Amino acid sequence: MRHSLRTGFSFGITSAVITTLGLMVGLHSGTHSRLAVLGGVLTIAIADAFSDALGIHVSEESENQHTAREIWESTIFTFFAKLVFAFSFVIPVIMLELDQAIIVSVLWGLFLLGVFSYYLARHEKTPAWRVVGEHIAIALIVIFTTHYFGDFVRGTFV
């Protein structure tokens, strides 16, 4: 896979999983509202996909090492990877009870991150357990932090 496509896909899938799970878990613990969680996921899928794509675009431009085509490939792949993977979290929210949807979403997100991290480790020829463990640990920190922050907001402002 070309550098530009790998960059866009890597950033898009990682950001989709971490950002969407953090948002979902925080909104769930803060509101216990399906509408809030669903609206949050849809909003993050669209707005953050554009934001991340622009961020990759500017980052790749600032390196001054890539062609315009490579920069745009990274931009477009980031946008679509973020959009598609973030939208994938809508399915459990629509189909399941909210508490179950959050659990399924966390498992789905950790699965996606684990599989991608494993692929990344194999590609980089580094120990897979280290890369997978590091990325899953960061995701779990985000999940627990946003859960407790949502609880705090609910307890403080509601």
Model confidence at 1: pLDDT above 80: no
Rounded Cα distance, 28 and 30, in Å:
5
Confidence of residue 13 (pLDDT cuts 50, 70, 90): very high
Q: Cα dihedral sign for 126, 128, 134, 136?
A: positive
State the maximum Cα–Cα separation within the chain, in Å, rounded to a whole number: 51
Count of domains observed in the chain:
1
User: In this structure, what token pair is assigned to residue 155?
Assistant: 């307890």
The pTM (predicted TM-score) of the whole model is 0.93
**52 lies in which domain range?**
3-157
**pLDDT tens digits, 35-51:** 999 999 999 999 999 99
28 or 157, higher pLDDT? 28
Residue 64: half-sphere exposure toward Cβ, Cα within 13 Å: 0
- pLDDT of 158: 75
Cα angle: 10, vertex 141, 38; to 5 degrees: 70
Amino acid letter for position 106: V
Query: What pLDDT, on a 0 to 100 scale, did the predictor assign at position 3?
Result: 84
CA distance 103 to 76: 30
Confidence at 2, pLDDT banded by 50, 70, 90: confident
Q: Which two tokens stand for residue 39?
A: 């609206």
Name the average pLDDT for the chain.
Answer: 95
Q: Which helix (H) or strand (E) holds 79?
A: helix 68-87
Answer for the pair 143, 102: CB distance below 8 angstroms, yes or no: no
Q: Write down the pLDDT at residue 151.
A: 96
Q: What is the pLDDT of residues 58-102, one digit of tens each?
A: 999 999 999 999 999 999 999 999 999 999 999 999 999 999 999
Work out the average pLDDT over 10-39.
Answer: 97
